[in-house]
Amino acid sequence: MMETGNKQLNKKRRHTRIRARISGTAERPRVAVFRSNRFIYAQVIDDAAKKTIISSSDIKSKRSRTAKIKKTESATSIGRQLAALMKEKGISEAVFDRGGFKYHGRVRSLADGLREGGIKI
């Protein structure tokens, strides 16, 4: 019988494969996503300068205070909020780094929110 790896190891392998292929520049930075059980975090990173340009999360949003807003809806609003901040900085396109997470649920909602905000991914 084949031994399957645990979820954390598989996520780490996916993340390593993704990061080997993508990197952000000043013109087209990388949008890195981290998803915990409660919150979602997103950062706009310039890998050439090794700087975080913008960051956003739903910790201080309405969802953390009320249970009526769903996590996927909150992720979409964080994507729109991040897109607005990126537009202010003059960034119109980015590389999406899902961070080893499957492109599904909250990660996909955040990417959709970025697209709705006018960012080309």
The per-residue pLDDT for 1 is: 45
Residues in contact with 76: Cβ distance below 8 Å, sequence separation at least 6, in sequence order? 109, 110, 112, 113, 116
Q: Between β-strands 40-46 and 30-35, what pairing exists: parallel, antiparallel or unpaired?
A: antiparallel
Domain spans in the chain, listed from the N-terminal domain onward: 23-116
Q: Which residue has the tokens 């979409």?
A: 76
Q: For 73-85, what is the mean pLDDT?
A: 95
Q: What would the pLDDT profile of 8-61 be if each residue is shown by its tens digit?
A: 898 899 999 988 898 888 889 999 999 999 999 999 999 999 999 999 999 877
| Cβ neighbours around 38 below 10 Å, total | 10
Fold of 23-116: Nucleotidyltransferase; domain 5 (3.30.420)
The number of CA neighbours under 13 Å toward the Cβ of 48 is 6
